[in-house]
Structure 1
């Protein structure tokens, strides 16, 4: 900060040559004491330094509160853990065993969870915040409220007219605008490491709370908007002070803008606005998601560097931000290297990519679907976790998240991976085109992959034997819920547990994506009391069955109240005696979706005992509908009264822990 001391001394009209001592202020320049300027200037400096000291206190309180919440959350998870599926015997259980399990759970905790879900699970102000829960919006509101209140508290709002020694007859107008501007600027610095914490894939927050890293994306995005507002207000306010309130003009403004720390401040503000513009939906559509992502990484780091050049005394906030960013990227690279560091064909050790066999399902209307299957030497992941896959034959600079659809099992040191993806644009479209070309040349096509992961949390740790399971999927979202069902099949039969899969696809032939897994579920459906309902949303005419030759096709009538609100006279159904049912509810040229409200409510009402876990993955509209339906099914009063049926949780791939 020594390079900035002289210009700041001039700006604050402090006479360092006559100072008896220098008073230290954390995050700011030293103050010359005693003040030898005119009374108005000394009063103004009292306000500047006093306000800054309070700002640092308020920033410390904010971070202490965040740290305290995380500490309590972390301790609470360890001291009062929920019952885990792997800690409870999986044999046939009687009512007495269930009662003991239930007794170990805190009724108060289950009641509180049901109440929170009922009121905070649905989407909130969707036209502003998009498809996000009321809980997320509440957390954002609390943080924004704190910042708004303490941006103004502790500042004496006053105006001082002070003479200019070098220009007799001219006066500076000194107001509380300067101290207020400094405060919002410091808050922008203080929020920087929190923003990086919320954006990290190798998330420290996830390790502490158990909440998947992707659940923090909403708060990261809106915290960025707050920082943009704070930085812009800081810049505008000081422009008003230096260009309008200080005299003489334009000499003062020119001298001010030439200072190195001000130049860095302008650079930081430009970068901040550029980050904001590129992160908007319009910016992403214009430049493409991959450009946005890479540019976001680079611009964010350059922005932090510019902030350092502008005000290095606040490096207490910038150094942690930089450390977190480099730690996240370093761990990502290390994990990818460890997954692929293995024996090579020649017997030596080195980096070796996985090679996936490809299956192609053409769909000119909605985008082709590609299935990838391969084995890889590694430890098994947890159900619900996902990998980032890099398709090296398309680009080594991009990777995308995919959830394995199979159950993770180690056999002879190898773990099988299976994925399906729909080609839309970008890398997925390139992969589909590559697959089509390779399969045209050879019936056995493969492609090299680089994996990074795993990421996310287990979604079945708390799936105890008394919990009923409803899986709801749309399209390729089936990959998220299939491992849950396959895991239940691997366990002994659970008395009175209700299990159901609801899958909406555009065409019945789409079931071929996971035909092998569906056949496994169909064969185990009777023993495990699993019901499978597949809704075909864009076909009205019958085609030959694609799930299994044992499925028999017949016409069934559909009541409007049971499927949807629009009028459709009839529907083709495919049904078997093994609880696997396919219903066509759409028509040529339009989609028709299953009535999720009816499906979820009927499932919950027909359970024998125990709570219900709804696992879901699919389009945003489907997840939003499920949030509202699941919220309405929860009842704190009934759970407190002993009816655990109305304790209904929602677990989806963009979830908080509900």
Structure 2
């Protein structure tokens, strides 16, 4: 069999028009090697490829050349070939093939050889004729063993031996290629499985009974600080945020494993009829490897981005962390797809304009381009600046391009191979994850809450209040306002970090900050005991309970205060004061209670009896639930303290209207009691955070949980100070309630 340079192999492998070079065949389920077999037994396939090098004497084919080069990754590489009927009925072909198999497949059992014979002698199509003789019958018809090899340009009219050099080259090409394809799929599965298992495994480490002093130092050195510099929440150049060291370790693993799996495990087989040289062979394997790994990354990046993410149920990692990793995986996936496309594109450009022009008109080719370009465009259209300032544009473009990329990947495979080799399975997994989240879980959550009415009122020039009666929610919620815009699918995230209890007067309350339509919210409540017993910080006689047309009936409700900005808030303002309210759909609840692992980071424990909350502006909302229940035995053994810095007296008044307040002093920095929690409020003047943290942590008996929520600069400062104290021996742990997403 003749050999071909790498570029020629690629052209023959991918080129059309259409039928000759578009591979079709029997549907395979799974992946190559798991359990799809390309050439099993390889010796039999090598025999057939060698025997088909002769011309066959059949009357149903214009070109009687039996030459049918082995499928390259399932790619039919032959030019004009005899029909399946010719292969199935031609006696010299069947007998020569049977003799070759009998002399070269001595280690294979008869059942395996008969199965191969029935399925593959006529070809690999889903529907084709059976050979007229079984393998054993065809072999019995060889009454006189062949002793010579027929000339290569002769017509195969008698039983012949095969050229052993050609057989060995075919055997090497098929064995080597299938071995590499199995390796590609194995590495892809390694990538996918490890990307899902590692977060779960590391989440269980927190359940180990380790000393608090060791845990504090471990987090202070390896988990909590920014990966580099002093900023994590503050964007770098306004484009992206620096991960923490803990997040950076996992991101580093994702990057390294992709580089390693793209670079190792390549093996060359000689002799090899498929490639002219070892560099050509390895180049082909690299092009296919990065293509498979790009596909393997697709389910991961969809999984990490999903709200209804199984990893959120099985780990204590936040959705913010998974979204951060999602962006890094997307970059890697895009680069691998671009490299795969570039290598195949280069092969056609080397051959000249006509080859490229012909190939680029094929459906599989342009769908591959569409998929790759969609992944590329997702990168600049997802930068932080655009997400924050043009949220609606980002959301629509992101969904459209993501779906287009998935569809493009699937059609790229389908139009090239149909469903023979399982490459599309990666896309099936991604679609399953995407469909479960968007087509099942989200609608179920929406349906569980039904259509609610949101009552909007103006607080002052900076804030709006939105009351949603009849809604119990915890963690995070997403709100849809279908009558505000024609984009009825748009939804906006709210953080709801308090437990939804029943208020004696019927209204829960909270505060939200909406920057570019990204809001923070909370639901709070108390029982009849109020704060007299220390069970709740919330007032049972709160005047908030009768606002927005809601009486003092004992019903659950959620209230958010939203900073007035552009976008959604501009539309909401127009409906302020309407007694009927506006329709709202609520997708809830998400957050802490989604995980099956007990999350004790925000609750007092024997090792961490003290709670110190640092709030900035509306960040106080996310921390209020931590103060609730301050009368528990463990928290009574320690201290519960909050420092709140804000520029708005109206915000202070709104919060204090729903909590039980005992004031001491009325200056700008005043100490109050919210239930059993000691609260220091500063209006218009920033705290010296280092002095506050050192005073509270070093003077505490037992470990301290520091919870921070506020502007990015403040959160980063607290993070660095707490990590420094931990490295210097303080028993402390950090909990950041972030506005980022």
TM over 0.5: yes
Confirm whether residue 470 of structure 1 aligns to residue 612 of structure 2: yes
1:241 to partner: Cα distance: 1.7
1:468 to partner: Cα distance: 0.9
**2:466 corresponds to:** 372
Q: Name which of 353, 368, 371 aligns with 1:250.
A: 353
**For the structure 1 residues 580 and 456, does the alpha-carbon distance in structure 2 shift closer, same or farther, using more than 3 Å as the test?**
closer
Confirm whether residue 452 of structure 1 aligns to residue 545 of structure 2: no
Matches within 5 A, 1:33-432: 48-69=177-198, 72=201, 76=204, 81=207, 106-108=209-211, 111-112=214-215, 114-125=217-228, 127=236, 130-155=241-266, 174=280, 176-244=282-350, 247=351, 249-281=352-384, 283-284=386-387, 288-312=390-414, 313-329=422-438, 330-340=440-450, 352-356=451-455, 358-363=456-461, 368-376=462-470, 378=472, 381-382=473-474, 385-395=475-485, 396-404=488-496, 408-410=500-502, 414-432=555-573
Q: Name which of 615, 619, 623 aligns with 2:707.
A: 615
Q: Distance in 1 between matches of 2:673 and 2:192?
A: 59
Q: Distance in 1 between matches of 2:434 and 2:268?
A: 39
Deviation per residue, 1:504-543 (Å, 9 max, x gap): 212334312212134x1x33xxxxxxxxxxxxxxxxxxxx
Deviation per residue, 1:194-239 (Å, 9 max, x gap): 1111000011101111323232010001111111111111111111
**For the structure 1 residues 148 and 131, does the alpha-carbon distance in structure 2 shift closer, same or farther, using more than 3 Å as the test?**
closer
Q: Is the 8 A contact 2:23 2:74 kept in 1?
A: no
1:37 to partner: Cα distance: 7.0
**For the structure 1 residues 56 and 574, does the alpha-carbon distance in structure 2 shift closer, same or farther, using more than 3 Å as the test?**
closer
**1:346 corresponds to:** none
Q: Is the 8 A contact 2:708 2:715 kept in 1?
A: yes
**For the structure 1 residues 492 and 119, does the alpha-carbon distance in structure 2 shift closer, same or farther, using more than 3 Å as the test?**
closer
**For the structure 1 residues 633 and 158, does the alpha-carbon distance in structure 2 shift closer, same or farther, using more than 3 Å as the test?**
farther
1:422 to partner: Cα distance: 0.9
1:551 to partner: Cα distance: 5.7
Matches within 5 A, 1:481-560: 481-488=623-630, 491=632, 494-518=635-659, 520=660, 522-523=661-662, 552-553=665-666
Q: Is the 8 A contact 2:614 2:643 kept in 1?
A: yes
Deviation per residue, 1:311-359 (Å, 9 max, x gap): 243112110100110110121111111112xxxxxxxxxxx42343x34
Give SS of 2:657's match.
helix
5+ residue gaps, structure 2? 1-12, 25-48, 54-65, 79-100, 102-161, 415-421, 504-552, 594-598
Q: Is the 8 A contact 1:271 1:303 kept in 2?
A: yes
1:20 to partner: Cα distance: 11
**2:734 corresponds to:** 649
**1:7 corresponds to:** 21
Q: Is the 8 A contact 1:214 1:654 kept in 2?
A: no
**For the structure 1 residues 205 and 285, does the alpha-carbon distance in structure 2 shift closer, same or farther, using more than 3 Å as the test?**
closer
**For the structure 1 residues 171 and 374, does the alpha-carbon distance in structure 2 shift closer, same or farther, using more than 3 Å as the test?**
closer
Bigger radius of gyration, 1 or 2? Answer: 2
Deviation per residue, 1:59-108 (Å, 9 max, x gap): 1222343454356457x48xx84xxxxxxxxxxxxxxxxxxxxxxx7234
Give SS of 2:489's match.
coil
Structure number with the higher helix fraction is: 1
Give the alignment's Cα RMSD to 1 decimal.
4.2
Q: Is the 8 A contact 2:707 2:736 kept in 1?
A: yes
Q: Is the 8 A contact 2:601 2:735 kept in 1?
A: no
**For the structure 1 residues 374 and 280, does the alpha-carbon distance in structure 2 shift closer, same or farther, using more than 3 Å as the test?**
closer
5+ residue gaps, structure 1? 82-104, 165-169, 341-351, 524-549, 555-571, 587-592, 639-644
Give SS of 1:362's match.
coil
Q: Is the 8 A contact 2:294 2:337 kept in 1?
A: yes
Give SS of 1:632's match.
helix
Q: Is the 8 A contact 2:471 2:558 kept in 1?
A: no
1:453 to partner: Cα distance: 0.6
Q: Distance in 2 between matches of 1:505 and 1:314?
A: 55
1:132 to partner: Cα distance: 2.4
Aligned residues: 532
**For the structure 1 residues 280 and 44, does the alpha-carbon distance in structure 2 shift closer, same or farther, using more than 3 Å as the test?**
farther
1:577 to partner: Cα distance: 9.1
**1:557 corresponds to:** none
Q: Is the 8 A contact 1:178 1:241 kept in 2?
A: no
**2:117 corresponds to:** none
Q: Is the 8 A contact 1:159 1:176 kept in 2?
A: no
Q: Distance in 1 between matches of 2:249 and 2:304?
A: 16
1:484 to partner: Cα distance: 1.6
Q: Distance in 1 between matches of 2:71 and 2:354?
A: 31
Q: Distance in 2 between matches of 1:65 and 1:43?
A: 32
Give SS of 2:285's match.
helix
**2:690 corresponds to:** 597
**2:532 corresponds to:** none
Q: Is the 8 A contact 1:114 1:648 kept in 2?
A: no
**For the structure 1 residues 482 and 212, does the alpha-carbon distance in structure 2 shift closer, same or farther, using more than 3 Å as the test?**
same
Q: Is the 8 A contact 1:405 1:418 kept in 2?
A: no
1:22 to partner: Cα distance: 10
1:110 to partner: Cα distance: 6.2
Give SS of 1:353's match.
strand
Q: Is the 8 A contact 1:360 1:369 kept in 2?
A: yes
